[in-house]
Amino acid sequence: MSYLKKASAAVLLFSAATYAADNYLRGNVINVTTTASGLMVMLDTGIPTNCQGTPSNWMLIKEENKTMVSLALAMWASGKRNATVYTVGTSPGAYCEITQLDPVD
């Protein structure tokens, strides 16, 4: 493989990995709680990069996302806790928002 092809492949791999690490994380749900804003979730693996600054590693599933809240609570109740969370980040003074919850079988 030529140098240019190797360099291009390395850039593509690095770029995809960096982007992926910023907005999602896989782990086990170790705690849930509720607030007036929705369901709060905590993973054993921490938080995605774009969630830096979220208080105590809590991530929020907003109350209006009823299907996602229901899925998270069903997972919690059944003991199936392994999931990938996708996030949009943290606003100053706010919790990191989960936009997708993907259970891992």
Enter the pTM of the model: 0.79
d(CA 43, CA 83): 9
DSSP 53-100: T-GGG-EEEETT-HHHHHHHHHHHHHT--EEEEEEEE--TTSPEEEEE
How confident is the model over 69-92, as pLDDT tens digits?
Answer: 999 999 999 999 999 999 999 877
Q: What are phi and psi of 9, to 5 degrees?
A: -65, -40
Instruction: Identify the structural domains of the chain with CATH numbers, from first to last.
Output: 3-103 (2.40.50)
pLDDT at position 74: 97
- Record the tokens describing residue 33, joined without a space: 């709680």
d(CA 59, CA 38): 10
**22: DSSP letter:** H
Q: What is the mean pLDDT of the chain?
A: 85
- Record the tokens describing residue 68, joined without a space: 């996602």
How confident is the model over 8-22, as pLDDT tens digits?
Answer: 444 444 433 333 469
